[in-house]
Amino acid sequence: MSRIFSGIQPSGELHIGNWLGAVQNWVTLQQRYDCIFCVVDLHAVTGKYERDTLALRTRDMAIGLLASGIDPGRAVLFVQSHVPGHSELQWLLNTLTPIGELERMTQFKDKSQRFESVPAGLLNYPVLMAADILLYRADLVPVGDDQTQHLELTREIARKWNADFGGGEAWFPEPQPLLTDAKRIMGLDGEAKMSKSLGNTIGLLDGPEEIWQKLRPAKTDPARVTRKDPGTPEVCNVYHLHRYFSPPETVAVVAENCRGAKWGCLDCKRVLADTMIATLAPIRERALDLRSHPARVDQILGDGAATARRLAGETLREVRARMGFLPGAPA
Ligand code: TRP
């Protein structure tokens, strides 16, 4: 069975963009593949970060994933910093990665501009990501299109390691992106991809009132200035969200009432709020239950980390030997 690895940062909020774009897909994939999912807290400290909430955000991300249907009986779910092998392999891979390649990464070029003094961790971020994936010798990596460049670099690093230490073998598989059904969910501002840092999200665990408060001011078709103006559903972000949350009959009604100017945008949003609240209610309920039982979550993450450490240990034993280190490292 092919192995899948993917990671998600403990940003503090799993929002409907992550859920529609990634997490729902993970839940499906765990039925058919050997899946390893990781909350990548070591990646989350590459810039300025909130020290006091890191631990809580990390656990809460795991809670969001579990509530969405990640099943610890089928997939391995763990926290990156609980498996020290990620850092060790990253160091080893750093020695094969040209700085020029790292400086060329679009995400680095973008994020480094926000720093007066750029931390080396920001430059080396993609090497840690390569280590995450190669540590489990994963075949496939479900990622959004913003990460395909990092994945390409991962393949280059794997190729280089194989050439230098593989003894004629492609010992590390060259991991391929899994772009199935990749959805790019726009934020409520209708301007950029939904992202916590832009404040244009709806949280997966938001309650009915929060959902409505956030949806009410959301951008719609700019040509609809008054409710008498006929709208074009295809250019309206709220309509696109309807297609994810509302049943097809409702979507058809929404489109018709928008085109015919029979509904105002607020009417349309009220219907969306209702279907969204109903869709998310069972996830929210499971999450609230897990939040009130943190020990249960930590147990799941502890078991996941134990499995991951065992798998990582197998890889690292072989990697250290092939790279010529004196035996004696801890298992
Ligand atoms: N960099 C990814 C992101 O920001 C998160 C990530 C870290 C990841 N390690 C990974 C994704 C390994 C896939 C595989 O979305």
- Written as one string, the DSSP assignment of 157-173 is HHHHHHHHHSTTS--S-
**Cβ–ligand 1 contact at 105 (below 6 Å):** no
The residue whose CB lies within 8 Å of the most ligand 1 atoms, and thus the one to mutate among 45, 58, 129, is 129
Mutate to test the pocket of ligand 1, among 40, 45, 108, 111 (most ligand atoms within 8 A of CB): 40
269 is catalytic: no
pLDDT on residue 298: 98
**Tokens (6 digits) for 112:** 């480094």
Joined tokens for residue 102: 């790292």
Instruction: Report in angstroms the alpha-carbon separations of 145 from 112, 151, 183.
Output: 20, 10, 10
Question: Which one of the listed residues 183, 193, 214, 219 is annotated catalytic?
Answer: 193
Residue 141 forms beta bridges with which residues?
Answer: 177
3-state helix, strand, coil in the chain (%, to 5): 60, 10, 35
Question: Which amino acid would we find at residue 170?
Answer: A
For the Cβ of 151 lying below 6 angstroms from any atom of ligand 1, the answer is no
Q: Where are the domains of the chain?
A: 3-185+293-323, 205-289
Instruction: For 234-251, write each residue's pLDDT tens digit.
Output: 999 999 999 999 999 999
* Residue nearest atom 9 of ligand 1, based on CA coordinates: 129
**219-232 burial code (b ≥16 CB/10 A, e <16):** bbbeebeeeeeebe
- CATH number assigned to the domain covering 205-289: 1.10.240.10
Helix ranges (DSSP H) in 38-119: 54-68, 85-94, 99-103, 106-112
CB 6 near ligand 1, within 6 Å? yes
Confidence of residue 331 (pLDDT cuts 50, 70, 90): confident
Tokens read off for 84: 């020290």
Atom of ligand 1 nearest to the CA of 125: 1
Q: Catalytic site residue 193?
A: yes
For ligand 1, whether the C-beta of 133 sits within 6 Å is yes
Q: Which residues contact 34 (CB under 8 A, 6 or more apart)?
A: 1, 2, 3, 4
The arrangement of secondary structure in 3-185+293-323, i.e. its CATH architecture, is: 3-Layer(aba) Sandwich (3.40)
Centre of ligand 1 from the C-alpha of residue 7, in Å: 4
pTM score: 0.95
Is residue 129 lining ligand 1, measured as CB closer than 6 Å?
yes
Q: What would the two tokens of residue 273 be? A: 């709020």
pLDDT digits (tens, 9 = 90+) for 46-104: 988 999 999 999 999 999 999 999 999 999 999 999 999 999 999 999 999 999 999 99
User: Of the listed 183, 196, 214, 219, which one is catalytic?
Assistant: 196
Look at ligand 1, atom 15, and give the residue with the nearest C-alpha. Answer: 8
C-alpha 106, offset from chain centre: 18
Q: Average pLDDT over the chain, rounded to whole?
A: 95
Q: What is the pLDDT of residue 227?
A: 84
What is the C-alpha separation between 237 and 281, in angstroms, rounded?
Answer: 22
- Find residue 5's DSSP bridge partners: 36
Using the structure block, give the residue that is written with the tokens 């909430």: 53
Q: Which residue has its alpha carbon closest to ligand 1 atom 8?
A: 7
Q: Is the CB of 143 under 6 A from ligand 1?
A: yes
Which amino acid belongs to residue 280? L
What's the pLDDT at 182?
A: 57
